[in-house]
């Protein structure tokens, strides 16, 4: 469907998008979309890493290993959204 578009139709679509959103909003929207994609990608990698770590590799030395504190990684260039993850202590005294 997209491969069937002619150059004139593509230009017309671009003009309509510019008229709807304005030239000032488009770069902001593209940045926000890219930022969201980077965050989604990093979270997916973190989930895969967590799944790989939770799989039992061997029963020995598991009690001696302490998990590293978890943090939510910010997108590159975005230092305001990185924050530590609050984990509940499940051990009872």
Q: What tens digit of pLDDT does each residue of 50-68 get? A: 888 877 655 455 555 666 6
Listed range (9-13, 26-30, 56-60, 79-83) with the worst mean pLDDT:
56-60
Q: What percent of the chain has pLDDT over 70?
A: 56
Question: Tokens for 2?
Answer: 């997209």
Residue 61 gets the label, from left (phi > 0), alpha (psi -120 to 50) or beta, of: left
Angle (CA) 77 84 32, round 5°: 35
CB 84 within 8 A of CB 74: no
Highest average pLDDT, of 21-25, 26-30, 33-37, 86-90, comes from 33-37
């Amino acid at each position: 469907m997209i491969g069937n578009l002619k150059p004139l139709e593509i230009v017309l679509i671009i003009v309509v998008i510019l008229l709807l959103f304005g030239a000032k909003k488009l770069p902001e929207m593209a940045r926000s979309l890219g930022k969201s994609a980077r965050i989604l990608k990093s979270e997916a990698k973190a989930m895969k890493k967590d799944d790989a770590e939770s799989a039992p590799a061997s029963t020995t030395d598991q009690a001696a290993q302490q998990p590293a504190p978890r943090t939510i990684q910010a997108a590159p260039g975005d230092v305001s959204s990185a924050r530590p993850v609050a984990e509940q202590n499940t051990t009872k005294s």
